[in-house]
Structure 1
Amino acid sequence: MSEVIVEVDNLVKRYKELIALDNFNMKIKKGEVFGLLGPNGSGKTTTINCILSLLNYDNGEVKLFGEKMTSSRYDLKRKIGVVMQEVAVFDELTVYENVDYFCGLYIKDKKTRKKYVEDAIKFVGIEDFKKFKPKKLSGGLLRRLNIACGIAHKPEIIIMDEPTVAVDPQSRNKILEGIVELNNAGATIIYTSHYMEEVEQICSQILIMDKGKKVAEGTSDELKRKIKNTENVIVDIKNISEKDIQGVSSLNHVYDVKYMSGRLTIKCSSGKHNISHVIDYLTNNNLDYERIYSELPTLNDVFLEITGRTLRDKEA
């Protein structure tokens, strides 16, 4: 069994009458890329702040590396790197000076720190911008700088909160490749994002939380097996009557049908020949369609079915 290096046990956090965390539990094993997902107000940010001991909580316990985490445990904090959604760098410092400053909070030896800073800048691909100040950087480069500042001291646990929000595709790919590289080098990653395809791509374990509680956990494939939806059949069709929509709805294994903007989306709960049954119905009823295809459920389908909501860009 892999070593558990983050353990959140029955955590309760209240803001007056609001219960932000309701006996929340979470275990993260060494070497995982752990996806933490939830709708607005689900408690993700509160959980992260409790793990970092930036918030006091009402009950429960947080352990890192098997030891209780408190605000004075600087030895444990040294092992954590944080890349928050809001970019936090100094405008008056250059790229190099920013990374050097944040690295210097943990690494006092100048020779070691110089190497670590150079490694971090090279890692995120901003070597050509070392003398630039943040205001001269694009949004994507600014986020890469933010990451360099959070990982320069070579932490064992890296918390990344929406690191790819509002960045260009090139920077986004660079960031995702970097996360995988960090993980391959031995870092354990806690990753939050509203981009489901990112989570499916890089996360080895995923926890979905809602209203301060854990509602589902597993790999992407395991989570998909937990929901009713096993297949989506999509039909591009210009005209279809309400009677025929009802007819498709009555087919075996079909539990939901929606028609919008010339597209018929048919959700199926099981069965191996759902698309054939739909084609047979369309053919037998002389319905012309442009295209028909089948899709397996996505992590977004899982999230929507479990929470009844979709992810949004920002935490409420």
Structure 2
Amino acid sequence: MIKRFVFCPPGPPPSPLLISCWSKMRFVEDGDAVIYYLHIRHCTVNGASASSDTRLTILYSHGNAEDLGSCYEGLVALSRAIGADIVVYDYCGYGFSKARGQSGPTEERVYKDADAIFAELTGRLNIKPLQVVLMGRSMGGGPACYLAAKHHSTIGGLILLSTFTSCLGAVNCSCLRYLCVKDMFPNEEFLESVVDCPVLIMHGKKDSVVSFSCAERLLKIVEQVQKRFKKEGMVSHHWFANCGHNDIEVVSMEELREHLKTFLNRLTIHNTERSTHSTP
């Protein structure tokens, strides 16, 4: 029941924006699934790519009504502004990504897609896990939190933008909580396992789709977990005072970029220390 509201892939048919990205797309196969992605590389002013030993790569999981076509231009601009590579992928059932025998997106398939792309980054693309920063927007926080729970001890960090505690946690209809409706994307539970990597949580205070209280709850969970394991100081947050759910990149783009840059700069320093301490 709730799946119909969670997954809202654009099209069909494919949008002109999606088609225009076709030549830039790569894909990874996972059993009967083919997952398409874009690798957006940050370049310096003179066109030379930054050192692969220091450059961070954001693995970006997009929202429920987006695809590679609608994300591409905005993420290119973001990559330039914050000085990081970005890899963004389409879940099966979105864009050209598909799984044989599957009629539409599912929660389980989204997790498999995220696993496949993470393996692609750290395998064929030869990106060290410590250089990978997971970022999820809205529904994309689900696969981002899922991956963080599995890889928090080796990845660079986690960024959550406009993300819910769980699908039912974001719904204002209280009656659903008393019906036999299976919840999806239990981000609260995933974050209980995220101990070893820095976390940044950002949310619009005027969000009418995913309540601002979700962000406060997620922040509290991470703070409690890190305090329990004596890892305080690795979680930060920023609330956009005048933004809702889908307008942060429009209303407060400079504010967003500055906080991302600050967080990524902190990651570079923090991860250098982590790497040094882990070296025998």
Say which structure is richer in strand.
1
Point out which structure has higher relative CO (alpha carbons under 8 A, 6+ apart). Answer: 1
| TM-score normalized by the length of structure 1 | 0.29
Larger radius of gyration: 1
Say which structure is richer in helix.
2
